[in-house]
Amino acid sequence: MQLFFINIIIPLNDILILPGRLQKSVAKQKVLTYLNNIREKGDTMKKNLYTAAVIITAAILSVASCGRSLYNFAQKSERGKASLVEKSIQAGEHKIVYLESGEDGEVIVLVHGFGGDKDNWTRFSRYINKGYRIIAPDLPGFGESSRIEGAFYDIETQTERLRKFTEILGLKKFHLAGNSMGGWISANYAYRHKEQVLTLTLINAAGITSPVKSEMMALLEKGINPLLVNDLHDYDRLINFLFVKPPYIPGSIKKEFALKAVEHRSFNNKIFHDLHKKPLKLETRLPGIKAPSFVIWGDTDRVLHVSSVRVFTTGIKNSRSYILKGCGHLPMIERPKETAGVFINFISGKGPAD
């Protein structure tokens, strides 16, 4: 009896050090082998051991799926605090999943960056007044929206996919805000569809050449893309690259984020190459943006250098800026209350100073 439990518990113990998504399948395979061997022997003691093993196995498999359950719980909790509800639509060949809060008032469309998703905006959205309707999509190719190998994900194509998305939702006019690649897409949207954009907010936006080269640009010149995650341990490097003071993330939840980043590494790499096969430079388009514009930046951004701010505010005639001291590439996550506060002041007409 003791030997049996040693045989089954030791391999399952090894299973628990595997990444969460692998634990269940590997555990099931190992356990079924043990249990089938026991059941075939057929004596009473073995049958009793079989029953006990099933109970132990159920408990272990429960632990194996704990990380995913905790992740789902935390996600629902964060969305709930901002009254965000998940919805989806079909826009052309892509299914687009999005978060929405509120039904009345002026609309705010929030566009995430490369490797991000709609939940990049949940904490930020918590500080937006209830008088606004918030819509935050997973861009095609990211989050829970469709990933299509044969599709192209350059800025112009993504801009038109976003336009199709707003058309299906019946959005005539709205405040548009984007971070990083999402800022690149948002600026191009404001240039191409002037009649729809009430205001434009660019948060650490891509799309221009900064006067001072960023750390990421220097790495890219060496053939290293710091935004791609190679394995579970590499995720901590990415977090430290994006933030000055990373938000606290419990270990089991961080593992789920890391697993997703590793799982989508290949497709993210494809999208990154698509973005640079047809590199759309915003410098020539900035003067054509007519919407009142607001440029927000973390002064310690290692991805896109803060010197980019002057390029945007010089290029867009009706624009102003706000710099967050000691903040990295994702102000809406690192400093959500402050970022949302200056954003609301801007779109409501109070207008923070440079």
Compute φ and ψ for 108, nearest 5 degrees. Answer: -120, 120
Q: What are the CA-CA distances from residue 172 to residues 124, 193, 231, 243 (Å)?
A: 24, 11, 43, 35
What distance in Å separates the CA atoms of residue 283 and residue 274, rounded to the nearest whole number? 20
**What are residue 31's phi and psi, to 5 degrees?**
-65, -40
**Catalytic pick among 180, 186, 293, 321:** 180
Interatomic CA distance for residues 217 and 223, integer angstroms = 10
- From 94, 101, 112, 305, the catalytic residue: 112
226 half-sphere exposure, CB direction, 13 A CA radius = 20
Is 112 part of the annotated catalytic residue set? yes
Active-site residue numbers? 112, 180
